[in-house]
Every structure is written in C-alpha cells, then in structure tokens.
Amino acid sequence: MLKTSSKEMLGKLGPLLGLFLIVIVITILNPSFMTTDNILNILRQVSISALIAFGMTFVILTGGIDLSVGSTLALTGAVAATMLASGIDPVLTILAALLLGAILGAVNGIIIAKGKVAPFIATLATMTIYRGLTLVYTDGRPVSDLGNEITFQMLGKGYFFGIPVPVCTMILAFIVLYVIMHKTTFGRRVYAVGGNEAASKLSGINVDRVKIAVYSLTGMLAALSALILTSRLNSAQPTAGTSYELDAIAAVVLGGTSLTGGKGWIFGTLVGALIIGVLNNGLNLIGVSSFFQQVVKGIVILIAVLIDRKKTA
Amino acid sequence: MIEMKGIKKAFNRNVVLNNVEFTLLDGEIHALMGENGAGKSTMMKILAGIYSRDEGDVLVDGQSYTFTSAKDAESLGIHVIHQELNILPHLSVAENLFLGKEKTIGRTGFLRTREMNKEAQTLLAKLGLHIDVRQPAGSLSVGKQQLIEIAKAINSEAKYIVMDEPTAALTDREIETLFDTIRELKAKGLSFVYISHRMEEIFAICDRITILRDGEYVGVREISKTSFDEIVKMMVGRELGERYPSRDAKIGEVALEVKGLTCPAVCKDINFQIRKGEILAFAGLMGAGRTEVAQAIFGNLKKSKGDIFIHGEKVTIKSPIQAMKYGIGFVTEDRKTEGLVLDFSIKENMFLTNLKSIAKGSFIQAQQEQLQATKYIEQLNIRCSDATQSVGSLSGGNQQKVVIAKWLSTKPDILILDEPTRGVDIGAKKEIYSIMNKLAEEGVAILMISSELPEVLGMADRVIVMHEGRQTAILDNVDLTQETIMNYATGGEEVVKN
Ligand SMILES: Nc1ncnc2c1ncn2[C@@H]1O[C@H](COP(=O)(O)OP(=O)(O)OP(=O)(O)O)[C@@H](O)[C@H]1O
Ligand SMILES: [Mg+2]
C-alpha cells in the first residue's frame, strides 16, 4: 500500500497548484508582476496576514475559531506604540506587546475551555471588547511619533540580506510553527483534540490546557503582526486589523484545513495566505477594479472549498 | 435470490476481497463469518452499493446489477444495517423511521406527523417495542436503536436484510426479541445475512454459513451439518484449542479499593476490592451502571460520595490525568467516540496515552514511534497494511486491538476494560484473553466489564453483579452458573458474600 494515497497527495498539493496557476495567469496578463521588487512587496504584505493565519491554523485544528485576532492586533499595536512614544526601550516594548497578545489569547482560551462557551461566540464577544478597549485606550485617535529607535524600525522596514525583515520573520515563524505542529507532542495533542475531544480527554490529554495554549499562541502571533504593522506605518491605528480574521480564516481554508478540526497543515495555510496576497496584488496590476476584486477573491475561495468537498466525498 | 460471484476489491493496492462468492437464497438466514478484517463488512458494502467492486458480478434473481448507491440497492429490496448504526440521535424515533421517506400533504412538504407517529408506533409494537415514538432516538439503548434500524428496513419493504454484528451491544433479552422478529420475518419469505462473532447465535438462528478468511472464500456449510470446531477451523485455518486460556497468577495485596461509591442517578453505594493479579468481572444488564462506575473511578464522571484507595492509600481522582498518575488504565466501551481519533493512523493513536514514551523532551521520535507501534502490531496481531494506516479504515476488531495497545503502552497497575472483546473475532478474543492473563500474571489488577456471560465465567476470579445502579452480589467464580448471575442481574435479593 502507498504511504499516502495519490488522492491524498493531490489534496495536499492542490492549493500549491492553484497558486502556480494564478501566478501564471497574472504574469501572462501583466509581465511586470514577475519582478523581484513586486514579489518582495507581495511577500511583505502577506507576512502580516500569514502570521495571524498560522495561529488560526492551530485554533482551527482543535475545532475552534478565533474572531478576535484583528482586535487583538489593534490593542497590542496601540499599547506598543504608546510605550515607544513615551520612550520605553524597544526590546522591552516588543516583549510586552507579545506578552499582552498571549494574555488576550489566553483569556479567549480560558473562556472557551473552562467556561465551555462556543469559540465562535466567545471570540465574537472578545472581538468587540478588545476593539472597544483599544478605542478607549487611544481615545479613538491614532498613536504616532514613535521616535526612530532602529530596533523597532527594522521590524517593519528593515532588510536582511536584501529580504524584507517581515518576510524573514514570517519564514522563521513558519519553520518554528511547522516543527511544533508536526514534530512535537504538543502538535500531536492539537490534532488529537480536534480529531476527537472525548477520546483525547480519556487518553489523559489536558484538553483545556491545549485549547488555552493555542489561543494564547494565536494572540501572540497577532501581537507580532501588530508590531510589524506599527513599525511599517510608524503609527498605530485604533481601527487596525479590522476584518483580518476573515482573511486569516480564508487562508486556512484555502490551504485545505478542515473547519471541523483535526485535519490540515500549516504549509497549506502559507500557500493560502500567498494566494490571497497574489490575488490582491495581481488583480490591481491587471486593472481589476477594487470593488470587483472582492468578488474574484470570494469566488476563488468558493472554488477551492468546492474542490475540497469533492476530494473528501 | 442474491448471487455474488468472483468478487474482488482492493483499497489502494491492498486486496481485501479476492474471488469471493456468496449466495443468499430466498427465505433463509445466512451467516457470514470470518476473523476481523476478513472482509465481511466490505462484501456487504459492495452488495449495498456503498463500495464499487473491482471484479465480479452481483445478480439479483438471476439478473446482473451494478449498484452505484445505497438507493439503487434499496430499490431492489436490499437493506443493510451497518456495523455502525445510522441513527440520528436528536431526531425522534418516528422521524428516524421515516427519514428520507417522509409522508407529506401532497407535494407541499408539510409533514403528516401524526400519521407517521401512529404508523411508527404500530410498526414498533410488532417488534415488541412499546415506546413513545416522539422521544429522541438517542435516548434509547443501543439495543432498541437496533430494533429501530430493523423497523426501518421493514418499512422500506426490504426483501433482503443484512445485519452486520447486530447483537454486539444487545442484552440477552433484547437478543431474544430480535431473534423472534427475524424468525417471524423469515417465515414471511424475507432473507437475512447475519454477521456475528458469537458462535452460539449462529447455531441458534442461521440456516447456512459462508466463511471468509483473509479476503478469500473458504466455503459454505449447512448449519445442521457442521460443528463449532469445523467452523472455527475454517475461519482460523487451524485448531484453536481452549477458548479461555488458563492463567497462573499469584493474587497479591489489594491494589484498588472502592468504598461507598455513589454517582447521582447512575450508581449507588458500590463497594469492592481488587487485588494484584486478580481479574474481577462486572456483570449485569446493559444500563446497569457498570460503565458509570468505571468512569467514576477513572475521574471522567463526577461522584457524589465514596472513597477510592490505591495500594491502601486514599486518593482523590478528579480527571483521567490524575487516574493515570495512579497507574489506572481504561479501555473504553465505545471505541469510535471514546477510544480512537479515527483520522489518526494506528501509531498516532497508540501513543496518545503516553506520548512521553516516544518523545525526547517535546520532540516525537518518529523512528521510535514506528518501532514501538510495529511491536504492538505484532504482539496483538493487528491486521493492517502498516502502522501508518488510518484506524478509521481498520475492521472493527482490529480497531479494538489498537485501543488495547493504547493502554498497554502506559504499563498500568490497574486496568479497567469495558467490553474488551465486543465485535472481536474468536481468535482475537483469545489473544485478548491471553494478554489479560499475562498482565494478571505480571501483577496487574484487572477490572473487566462484560455482558457476555461465558466470557465472565471463563475469565474472572470473582464477579460483581449490578442491577439498576446497585451492586447485588459479589460472587467467587467457583461452580458459578450463568443462571445465578442472571438472577442477580435481574434484581435477585441482596446477597454480599466476600
Ligand atoms: N475504506 C477503506 N480503506 C482502506 N482499507 C479498508 C477500507 N475499508 C476496509 N478496509 C480494509 O479491508 C479489510 C476488510 O475489512 P472489513 O471491515 O470488511 O472486515 P470485517 O470482516 O468486517 O471485520 P470485523 O469483523 O472486524 O468487522 C481490512 O483489512 C480493512 O483494513
Ligand atoms: Mg465488519
């Protein structure tokens, strides 16, 4: 018997094939798509949404969902920006923002695991709460004048051997998360909880702890995105990250991860995020109106999901 | 008459049926037997149009058919009741009965609920089931759900009914009702395919038997002209010998003691001890509260009263994690919902209970995992292509062995097994008994819940009988008879003998 059936392999490579197809079509329609500058530009844009989507993959694998990521991004970004503006050390700021993200995520996890609230409802509520807190905290105004500490500037605007630092961050995060997901006991537990929660509990897995951990991780990754975004814009907007949760969920689904949990992989999510990034950029280049772009993006997601249904049927 | 000829089926490249034949005459009850993974369910899924065949022919009354869906087969009167029941727990009994065949007012889509309820009531009454058809089907016992499945088949005017291990979760009384129903329907000209691992049942009800081994056709026999030993030999390919292997365990000090265990509404004032090296069986009818006692000991069910002592020390167990810390293992009753992650491979399931054993720090050692998994596959004789096969695609009995392997890997001091041989073939049963014996000999205290009385009598040192949440007897397994146990299980007077 084959190790993985050919059907399964096709399922895994499907998103990648889709990405290539889209890239080829766009390149034919507008060759200027395929320039180093443009590609790096796309990657830099993708890095922010990809980081969030990575976290979302873990959450969705456990059978959950996190709608609060965009608000978490806004709140952590605003806090980091005010810290910098008041002259606090950038490294300390970064660590504080990441910690805050993890705490906001843990709150989601605790409500869901201990309070037994459906993830959709719990994070719908915290999405509103975190956004509200951001507005209260910033008084609804952007935070700017962050100073020009090089450490912080690098995060969003720097280059490392010609590659934008956000892209390096994304790649590094991908590698670390890939290893966690596929090579560690924690990753195994994440899949198990999503695959069969009752059996996991009876196998002695601390299901609550796994859930709290994945939401914390997602919160922390949202904070990392927030830092990159804040650095790039040199300011924090209280409305930042609105509807980012939808892009993240779309990337996860495009990558072939099942919304019912237990099945999927993070490589797919990376590809999914790239598909969305390429579409955003490419549709602009070939002159599709921004209103119509939304329609195209929606259709692509639908097609991907329909193909996925066929595959599993 | 149904004829299946030269059936071949492979999954990927794994051939699971090779040139198999099967003939079902009108008005007969035909047993289909074979070890776990022999291909019985696959054969019937081909008949039902769920799987396509690679080669061979299916003839109904002499005419060849290729079914592409269960609907096709049903239109010819072939109805399969699968090993995994198709009951929707939240729908009412009547809604389940009429699922897909609802009666409506004209074509409006408005349901004739009252009419359907009435019809359902009469239909079930004929099967000896007097229940309110408006209650959710999920609230019924598995046995009653099984009867609903049969009612569904009758309701769809089936001529041929396939039952894949219908009695695996039934009580003796429910089995009697089921058999009466089958005999009655047979008299009306219906035919049955009857799949079961329980030899007693085959002899009680079947007319002929077809035997498969490893996806190959072995032969067909008249029940009246064959014997227990011949069938076993045809299935296993060799003599099996003693059904219940003997053990030589030294019974040591008390490993687990339960005092006054009470859980609201399910069990009351349970008291017992198990010693090292001892096998203590919990007998009783389905729903007597045995599983709940086990769940409470394992910390998966809240108890309102009672103390648990392990090796003489009083302990608090509030979760499976704590139970495992005290060396307790728990092979759960329902492998699909509580035992396995069906999407996981064999090896991924095996070590969920003990990820540490295959990891260095937080990192899983893939090689170690593969090696250990292969060891358990060999030890338990699990039929599979390799350790990476998903457990969802294993036959029922082999899934059960994976659940057992899960707990062997934790090296427990106290092992609770809830219906450990449900749906397991005769050879594998013996293997499981041997494993239990070996564990007992190594000093493990074993608590076995079983509804199969021969198994209880064959394996246990002592037997606790439960009736409606109460413990009605503790019996030494000396000159013990099924009748005595049944007497206590159905509510005989309270006698405690230790
Ligand atoms: N969907 C599938 N994909 C891959 N292999 C399968 C699939 N379904 C069944 N098999 C394999 O086919 C073989 C026969 O399985 P089947 O379920 O027919 O056995 P069975 O005789 O019904 O056993 P049991 O008594 O345990 O129910 C097994 O080895 C099983 O692993
Ligand atoms: Mg079967």
Most B CBs within 10 Å: which of A62, A203, A263, as the mutation test of the B interface?
A: A203
Q: How confident is the model at residue A3 (pLDDT cuts 50, 70, 90)?
A: very low
**Averaged pLDDT, B204-219:** 94
Q: Which residue of B has its CA nearest to A195?
A: B341
Residue B226 in domain: yes
Q: How confident is the model at residue A7 (pLDDT cuts 50, 70, 90)?
A: low
CA distance to A11, A22, B121, B312, B421, per residue, from A14 (Å): 5, 12, 51, 59, 42
Element (H, E) at A233: helix A207-233
Span B147-206, pLDDT tens digits: 888 888 888 888 999 999 888 777 777 788 889 889 988 998 999 999 998 888 999 999
For residue B137, how far is the Cα from the chain centroid?
Answer: 19
Residue B132 in domain: yes
B266 shares a domain with B225:
no
Whether A196 and B341 lie within 8 Å, measured CB to CB: yes
Does the pLDDT at position B497 exceed 60? no
Most B CBs within 10 Å: which of A7, A180, A181, A202, as the mutation test of the B interface?
A: A202
Residue B227 in domain: yes
Is the Cβ of B402 closer than 8 Å to some Cβ of chain A? no
Ligand 2 centroid–CA B51 distance in Å is 14
- Lowest-confidence segment of A31-35, A116-120, A171-175, B420-424 by average pLDDT: B420-424
pLDDT of residue A6: 56
ipTM for the whole complex: 0.85
pLDDT of residue B498: 42
Whether A2 and B355 lie within 8 Å, measured CB to CB: no
Other C-beta atoms closer than 10 Å to the C-beta of A182 total 15
Span A210-257, pLDDT tens digits: 999 999 999 999 999 999 999 999 999 999 999 999 999 999 999 989
Answer yes or no: are the C-beta atoms of B40 and B212 closer than 8 Å. yes
B310 residue type, one letter: I
Residue A310 in domain: no
CA distance B132 to B415: 39
Q: How confident is the model at residue A4 (pLDDT cuts 50, 70, 90)?
A: very low
Cβ neighbors of A124 (< 8 A, separation 6 or more) are A67, A68
Span B89-146, pLDDT tens digits: 889 999 988 887 788 887 777 888 888 899 899 888 877 788 898 999 888 877 788 8
Q: Is B276 in the pocket of ligand 1 (CB under 6 A)?
A: no
pLDDT of residue B139: 84
CA distance B448 to B330: 10
B435 shares a domain with B293:
yes
Residue A187 in domain: yes
Q: Is B11 in the pocket of ligand 1 (CB under 6 A)?
A: yes
Residue B494 in domain: no
Beta strands in B25-107 (DSSP E): 29-33, 55-60, 63-65, 78-81
Q: Which of B169, B243, B181, B218 is nearest to B33 (CA)?
A: B218
CA distance B436 to B434: 5
B228 shares a domain with B160:
yes
Q: Which of B87, B212, B222 is nearest to B152 (CA)?
A: B87
Residue B497 in domain: no
Answer yes or no: are the C-beta atoms of B444 and B276 closer than 8 Å. yes
Is the Cβ of A191 closer than 8 Å to some Cβ of chain B? yes
Answer yes or no: are the C-beta atoms of A56 and A66 closer than 8 Å. yes
Number of domains in chain B: 2
CA distance to A52, B280, B318, B352, per residue, from A183 (Å): 21, 40, 30, 14
Copy the structure tokens of residue A39.
């590609």
Indicate which CATH number applies to the domain containing B445: 3.40.50.300
B261 shares a domain with B228:
no
B217 shares a domain with B275:
no
Considering only CB atoms, B12 lies closest to which of A2, A192, A195, namely: A2
Please give the order of strands across the beta sheet that includes B305-310: B313-315, B305-310, B254-263, B267-275, B470-476, B462-467, B279-284, B445-449, B414-418, B328-331
Atom of ligand 1 nearest to the CA of B40: 21
Residue A69 in domain: yes
Whether A189 and B355 lie within 8 Å, measured CB to CB: yes
CA distance B99 to B152: 9
Q: Which residue of B has its CA nearest to A189?
A: B352
CA distance B299 to B289: 15
A206: DSSP letter: -
Considering only CB atoms, B13 lies closest to which of A2, A186, A204, namely: A2
Residue A276 in domain: no
B191 shares a domain with B294:
no
B276 shares a domain with B225:
no
CA dihedral B125, B130, B131, B134 (to 10 degrees): 30
Instruction: Domain of residue B216: give its range.
Output: 2-236
Residue A222 in domain: yes
pLDDT of residue B154: 81
Atom of ligand 1 nearest to the CA of B12: 4
How many angstroms separate the CA of residue B341 from the nearest CA in chain A? 5
Number of domains in chain A: 1
Residue A302 in domain: no
CA distance B301 to B270: 15
H helices of A62-164, in order, are 69-85, 90-113, 119-138, 150-157
Q: Is B10 in the pocket of ligand 1 (CB under 6 A)?
A: no
CA distance B116 to B35: 41
Span A260-306, pLDDT tens digits: 899 999 999 999 999 999 999 999 998 888 889 889 888 988 887 78
Instruction: Domain of residue A129: give its range.
Output: 39-242+257-263
Q: Which residue of B has its CA nearest to A203?
A: B353
B80 shares a domain with B226:
yes
Residue B181 in domain: yes
